[in-house]
Every structure is written in structure tokens, then in C-alpha cells.
Amino acid sequence: MPGSKYEHIDVRGNDFEVIPFGAGRRICPGMSMGISMVQLMVAALVHGFDWELPA
């Protein structure tokens, strides 16, 4: 999130604060698919709601 203290964190194994998919030679082969699926699910949730501006 912009402005948070974890804004610079990369989940692809470059930062040791958060390593959800492993790092180096032991990195998860499904990492790119997992990240794509999370983006797809968030997009589907956003698309599924009826958005309106407050009147």
C-alpha cells in the first residue's frame, strides 16, 4: 500500500521481511501463477460489485 512502511517489499524473494514463495534455488515454481490468480480474483470481486458514487 502506498505510504506504508512495507511499500518497498517485493514478494518475489528479494526481501527477507516477507518470503511467501521461498527464494533462490528453492523458489516456488508456481509463484507467477499464484500472483496472477490473486490479481484475477481481486479483479473478479471488484467487477462483481455494483459500484456507485454517493449522491
Q: Which cell numbers hold the place of 16? A: 527477507
Alpha-carbon distances of 14 from 8, 23, 25, 43, rounded to whole Å: 11, 7, 13, 26
Q: What is the pLDDT of residue 17?
A: 66
Structural domain including 16 reads 1-49
Which 8-state DSSP code applies to residue 25? Answer: G
In a domain, 12, yes or no: yes
In a domain, 28, yes or no: yes
In a domain, 37, yes or no: yes
Q: How many structural domains is the chain composed of?
A: 1
3-state secondary structure of 20: coil
Q: What is the pLDDT of residue 43?
A: 95
Helix H segments across 1-55? Answer: 31-48
In a domain, 9, yes or no: yes
State yes or no: pLDDT of 48 exceeds 90. Answer: yes
In a domain, 55, yes or no: no
In a domain, 54, yes or no: no
Q: pLDDT class for 55, splitting at 50, 70, 90?
A: confident
In a domain, 1, yes or no: yes
